[in-house]
Amino acid sequence: MLEAILLVGGQGTRLRPLTISTPKPMLPVAGYACTDHQIALAKKAGVGRIVMGTSYRAEVFEEHFGHGEKVGVELVYAVEDEPLGTGGAIRNAAAHLTCGPNDPVVVFNGDVLTGLDIAGLVQKWRDADADVALYLTRVEDPRAYGLVPTDANGRVLEFLEKPTTLEEIVTDQINAGCYIFKRSVIDSIPSDRPVSVERETFPELLAADRMVIGVVDDGYWLDLGTPLAFAKGSADLVRGIAPSPLLTGRTGESLIEPTAKVDSSASITGGTYIGHNAIVGAGAVIDRSVIFADVEVGSGTKITNSIVSTAAKISSDCTIVDTVIAERAQINAGANLEPGTLVFPDESVN
């Protein structure tokens, strides 16, 4: 049985204030936590057991998923009292693995939306007799990611995490946040301190001439780490542009939970998601947005490219563009929110 480690312990700083109470991987994208989409993808590839590497708000995961009874994959938790970094988290989670030293372990960043063929990546790891296989994708501007140049045979030449100089921008291939590790490689990561897999483990493996391969896949990929990306990821899922085993047969211009009450004169477009028990008034126009459960949107209000968290109340005739509204916030009638506005939990805005 294939085992995996899911890294879900980051603070989600760039998604504040949404992540004050909810860790990033648990925020709903098209109605499911990113973690739900990832578990479904892993299950499809034959993963039967996942160790969740948690730290920030660790309890939220266990409350939601338990031991995986509902998702059909066995889940266990490796909780870090102090965040151990990505490499430290992988090492810490390894204590809960049951596989042997030469077996493959799938490792996933918790905020990545993808349809990656995980089983295919494991096969490439096997074929190359690799220590680590990295899933790579190509992006226009690689600066915010780990750059991973490879040679003609796919062997990784360097790992340059978030380069700061122009000379370091040597490729458009980036680390897409999913790896296949040989178990024994994980066991050699130091266990007594924080370690970054990107800044320390990968460069050390390369310096020691270990077999690290990169597999470029040009299928759908998105890091959900910023509000803009989060709204795009949700809309892409709703419209069927991003794949997820959880949404098969339910994609379209919008995804509205059956318990939501949306006035028939409201316009809901662009892959907007409307959560459980939300209420949307007459003539409201909601485009490319994510509306969490229990939200109220007044009549005539226009919301574009925004995220509205649980139980926020937006009165009538407001204009809201590129905005993040945290839980239970209140937006008063006629408000016009500038793009980039962040509204905090329980805040009231005119």
- The residue count of the chain comes to 350
Query: Quick check: 198 binds Mg ion (CB under 5 A)?
Result: no
| Choice from 111, 131, 217, 296 touching Mg ion (CB under 5 A) | 111
Radius of gyration, CA atoms only, the chain:
21
What DSSP character marks residue 156?
B
* Among residues 28, 225, 271, 275, the one that binds Mg ion under rule CB under 5 A: 225
Asked if residue 112 binds ligand GDD (CB under 6 A), the reply is yes
Question: Residue 142 binds what, of ligand GDD, Mg ion, none (CB under 5 to 8 Å, by partner type)?
Answer: none
Q: Token digits for 64?
A: 């939601």
For 287-314, give the DSSP string. Answer: ES-EE-TT-EE-TT-EEES-EE-TT-EE
Nearer Cβ to ligand GDD (53/214)? 53
- CA dihedral sign of residues 327, 333, 339, 341: negative
Answer with the entry of Mg ion, ligand GDD, none that 10 interacts with (C-beta below 5 to 8 A by kind): ligand GDD
Nearest alpha carbon to residue 262 among 288, 235, 286, 287: 286
User: Which structure tokens are listed for 229?
Assistant: 């990306």
As measured in angstroms, the least distance from the Cβ of 53 to ligand GDD is: 4
The binding track of 199-238 with respect to ligand GDD, each residue x by CB under 6 A or -, is ------------------------x-x-------------
Q: Could you tell which of ligand GDD, Mg ion, none binds residue 110, using a CB distance below 5 to 8 A set by kind?
A: ligand GDD
Residue 204: contacted member of ligand GDD, Mg ion, none (CB under 5 to 8 Å, by partner type)? none
Distance CA 55, CA 89 (A): 9
Binding to Mg ion by residue 223, rule CB under 5 A? yes
- String of DSSP letters for 62-76: HHHHTTSTTTTSEEE
Q: Which residues bind ligand GDD (CB under 6 A)?
A: 7-10, 25, 53-55, 80, 83-86, 89, 109-112, 145-146, 161, 174-177, 198, 223, 225
